[in-house]
Amino acid sequence: NAGVTQTPKFQVLKTGQSMTLQCAQDMNHNSMYWYRQDPGMGLRLIYYSASEGTTDKGEVPNGYNVSRLNKREFSLRLESAAPSQTSVYFCASSVLQGAGEKLFFGSGTQLSVL
Amino acid sequence: GENVEQHPSTLSVQEGDSAVIKCTYSDSASNYFPWYKQELGKGPQLIIDIRSNVGEKKDQRIAVTLNKTAKHFSLHITETQPEDSAVYFCAAEMDTGRRALTFGSGTRLQVQP
């Protein structure tokens, strides 16, 4: 059981280039998320999708777009990369379990924009 | 929106000692408080969580306490072991139907053997 799979693991871009981060989950979860992690700032939500066909902005959506391709896949696109988008990106899916919504994270994509 | 502050940013303890990490939140409407552990090179993983109608929850060597009046909650790890070394994140969520955890800035815990 793979859980949440992200590709690529590492990426270096030049300012202005575009790229898509891919994410897939095999746990049949309805909700999926994209977070970015920066030193000293914790995890900040970029976009999330409560179910197939719906997406909503999170705390830091500017410069990003998302696509919920189907129930399994949720991609994040940078149309014109900027140095401020250098970060570690995590995809997650979630299920209601026990006290609340439990998130399952992928292993992350380290992105550098030069 | 919600704001979660976490302290300390780094914590070093001797193996066998206890470790305490504290978080405060700003929005009294928050009612779900999970803690995530992130090991090097991996994504965060849920280790314990609590809802606002409960004051304390324990799971073996870890416990979480919540003071809703003061709007703060804490993670307690007893009898620390080297494998507890990781970054720990607290989070808070409002039950508005819009699922979005707000995370603290993280605490790097180092357990010295």
**What pLDDT is recorded for position B52?**
81
Question: What is the secondary structure of B41-58 as a DSSP string?
Answer: TS--EEEEEEETT-SEEE
Residue of B nearest to A98 (CA): B49
**What pLDDT is recorded for position A2?**
79
B49-94 pLDDT, tens digit per residue, is 998 888 899 999 999 999 999 999 999 999 999 999 999 999 998 7
Compute the CA torsion angle B62, B22, B88, B94 (nearest 10 deg).
Answer: 100
Task: Name the phi and psi angles at B82, rounded to 5.
Answer: -55, -30
Q: Please name the member of B41, B49, B105 whose beta carbon is closest to the beta carbon of A98.
A: B49
Q: Do B51 and A99 touch (CB under 8 A)?
A: yes
Chain centroid to CA A20: 10
**What pLDDT is recorded for position A1?**
64
Residue of A nearest to B54 (CA): A99
**What pLDDT is recorded for position B96?**
60
Q: Which candidate, A55, A74, A77, places its Cα nearest to that of A64?
A: A77
Looking at residues B20-27, what average pLDDT do you find?
Answer: 95
Strand, helix or coil for residue B73: strand
Residue of B nearest to A93 (CA): B99
Residue B7 has, within 13 A of its CA and on its CB side, a CA count of 4
pLDDT at B97 over 70: no
Q: How far is A79 from chain B (nearest CA, A)?
A: 24
Q: Give the A window 27-66 contacts with B, CB below 8 Å.
A: 31, 40-45, 48, 50, 56, 58-59
Residues 6+ apart with CB under 8 A from B2: B25, B26, B27, B30, B92, B93, B94, B102
Q: Do B105 and A94 touch (CB under 8 A)?
A: no
Task: Report the percentage of chain B scoring pLDDT > 90.
Answer: 79
Please calculate the CA angle A28-A65-B42 and round it to the nearest 5 degrees: 55
Q: Do B1 and A59 touch (CB under 8 A)?
A: yes
CB pairs under 8 A between A and B: 66
Question: What is the secondary structure of chain A as a DSSP string?
Answer: ---EEEE-SEEEE-TT--EEEEEEESS--SEEEEEEE-TTS-EEEEEEESSTT--EE-S--TTEEEEE-SSSBEEEEESS--GGG-EEEEEEEEEEETTEEEEEE---EEEEE-
Cα–Cα distance between A59 and A47 in angstroms, integer?
A: 8
**Residue-wise pLDDT tens for chain A (114 aa)?**
679 999 999 999 999 999 999 999 999 999 999 999 998 888 999 999 999 989 999 989 999 999 998 999 999 999 999 999 999 999 999 998 877 889 999 999 999 999
**What pLDDT is recorded for position A63?**
96
A88 touches chain B (CB under 8 A): no
Helices and strands counted in chain B (H then E): 0, 11
